[in-house]
Amino acid sequence: MPIYEYICPDCGLTFDHFWPSIQAAEGAAPPVCPACGGSQAQRIISQVAVLGELGGLTPSEQAAENAQAERLAKITPKEQIEKLRAGKKRQEGQR
Ligand SMILES: [Zn+2]
């Protein structure tokens, strides 16, 4: 059962989505964002691309990210937020 990672352009949430098969994932519309219900989620294709984006964050952008995480914490499961933060920490550590 493949797991793909998506990012929601509306609220910035990254989330994992389980698909029953690779064929289903390739043919289907993106999953609905669990935080805001947006339907424009983009699949995160490569880890390298994500790292490049995060590496370009300015302090003010980082502050906005943190504020957004705080906001998301009110509407998304705590476990999901922890996972998101852990993922970012890991990526920062690789740079
Ligand atoms: Zn969203």
Q: pLDDT digit string (tens) for 48-90? A: 434 445 556 677 777 777 777 777 666 666 677 677 777 766 6
Please report the sign of the dihedral spanned by the C-alpha atoms of residue 55, residue 59, residue 61, residue 67. positive
CA of 58 to the centre of ligand 1 (A): 22
CA of 41 to the centre of ligand 1 (A): 7
**Residue 14: pLDDT over 90:** yes
CA of 12 to the centre of ligand 1 (A): 6
- Using CA atoms, how far residue 75 sits from 26, 72, 81, 86, in Å, is 29, 5, 10, 18
**Residue 21: pLDDT over 90:** no
Q: Are 75 and 31 in contact (CB under 8 A)?
A: no
CA of 81 to the centre of ligand 1 (A): 13
Output 95 or 38, whichever has higher pLDDT.
38
CA of 93 to the centre of ligand 1 (A): 26
Q: What is the pLDDT of residue 49?
A: 39
pTM of the model: 0.46
CA of 72 to the centre of ligand 1 (A): 9
Q: How many CA atoms lie within 13 A of 55 on its CB side?
A: 10
**Residue 10: pLDDT over 60:** yes
Q: What is the pLDDT of residue 72?
A: 67
Cα–Cα distance, 14 to 50 (Å, whole number): 11
The arithmetic mean of pLDDT across residues 15-29, rounded, is: 84
